[in-house]
Amino acid sequence: MMLPLVLLHGFLGSGDDWQDVRRHWPNQRALISPNLPDAQTLAGSEDSANIEVYSRYAWEQLQTNLPEQFHLLGYSLGGRIAMHWASQATGRIQSLLLESAHPGLPNQAARRERLIQDRQWAQRFASEPLSEVLHDWYQQAVFQDLSDCQRTQLISARRRQDPAAMAALMRVTSLGEQADLMTQLSQQKTFKAYITGGQDAKFMATAQALQAQKPCLKLVLFDTLGHNCHAGAPAAFAERISHLLSNEERPS
C-alpha cells in the first residue's frame, strides 16, 4: 500500500513550493503540502515560544487534515518541524526524510550568536522595505548556488507576504533556541534519509555527521545542487524520493 507523503516547506515558503515536484511525481502516491500556520499568535503572547512550541502548534493546527499514517519530508525549517513531529506524533509517521535541515547547534555560545542574528533579521523583516531585506536574505552563503535570475524570481514571489508574519516566524523558530537533536535523530527509528546538495558544504557536513551516528541512514545527494534540491531539480528529486519510499514499503 502506498502511504501518502506529507511535504513541509521552508521559511518564507508555502505549500505551493512543491508544485514542480508534484508535476514530475512518477506514481499515484498522494502528495500533501500544507501551508505552515502563522506564528504571530505565539510570538505575541508567549515570550518562551520556540521551535518546539511552534511545532506542537503546527501539529495541532494541521493534524486533523493529515492521513492516519504517512511519510514525512521536510525542507530546511520544514525539516526542523518534521524532526519534532516525528517524536510528537509517534505511530502516525511511517518514515522521516529531511532535506537541508539543521538538527541544532552543539553549544550555548553558538546558539546565543545565532539567536542574536535571527532577532536582527526579524527586526529587519518587521521594519525595513521588504524587497531590500529579501535581497540581502538571498545573498547569504547558503544561497550561493542561486543565479541572479533565480534570486529575482524568489524576491518577486516572497515580497507579497506579510512582513509581520515573516518576523514572527523568524523569532519563534530561531535555531538559536532549538535543542541539539543530533543524538535524538540518530536514535529515531523512523528517520530514514537525509537529502542535500553537493554544493552546500554546510549541510553536506551535517549529513555526514548524521550518517556517522546512524550508519543505516540513506544519504540522498544531488552533486551539482545547493541548499534547495527539490527546486533545483524537481524531476530528479521526485524520481529518487519516489524510489526510496517504494523501497521502504517493500516487504523485507
* pLDDT tens for each residue of 11-45: 999 999 999 999 999 999 999 999 999 999 887 76
Q: Which residues contact 124 (CB under 8 A, 6 or more apart)?
A: 133, 136
Decide: 4 and 71 in contact? Cβ < 8 Å. Answer: yes
Distance CA(75)–CA(10), nearest Å, equals: 5
What is residue 45's three-state secondary structure? helix
Residue 39's pLDDT is 94
Distances (CA, A) of 50 to 167, 179, 181, 193: 13, 10, 14, 25
Residue 70's pLDDT is 97
Residue 94's pLDDT is 95
Query: Could you tell me which of 83, 41, 66, 117 has the C-alpha nearest to residue 194?
Result: 83
Residue 47's pLDDT is 63
Residue 48's pLDDT is 74
Residue 237's pLDDT is 98
Q: Do β-strands 31-32 and 93-99 pair in parallel, antiparallel, or remain unpaired?
A: unpaired
Assign 103 a pLDDT band (cuts: 50, 70, 90): very high
Dihedral sign for Cα atoms in the order 64, 229, 227, 146? negative
Paired residues of 72 in beta bridges: 6, 96
The string of pLDDT tens digits covering residues 44-72 is 765 678 999 999 999 999 999 999 999 99
Residue of 81 and 46 predicted with greater confidence: 81
Query: Could you tell me which of 3, 12, 1, 62 has the C-alpha nearest to residue 167?
Result: 12
The string of pLDDT tens digits covering residues 162-214 is 999 999 999 999 999 999 999 999 999 999 999 999 999 999 999 999 999 99
C-alpha cell at 185: 535523530
Question: Which helix (H) or strand (E) segment is 24 a member of?
Answer: helix 19-24
Query: Could you tell me which of 227, 233, 232 has the C-alpha nearest to residue 207?
Result: 227
Domain with residues 5-105+178-249, CATH architecture: 3-Layer(aba) Sandwich (3.40)
Exposure string of 175-185, with b = 16+ CB inside 10 Å and e = fewer, is bbbbeebbebb
The string of pLDDT tens digits covering residues 129-174 is 999 999 999 999 889 888 899 899 999 999 999 999 999 999 999 9
C-alpha cell at 158: 516572497
Residue 252's pLDDT is 62
Report CA 214 to chain centroid distance, whole Å: 20
Query: Could you tell me which of 85, 31, 77 has the C-alpha nearest to residue 58?
Result: 85
C-alpha cell at 99: 532535506
Assign 107 a pLDDT band (cuts: 50, 70, 90): very high
Assign 250 a pLDDT band (cuts: 50, 70, 90): confident
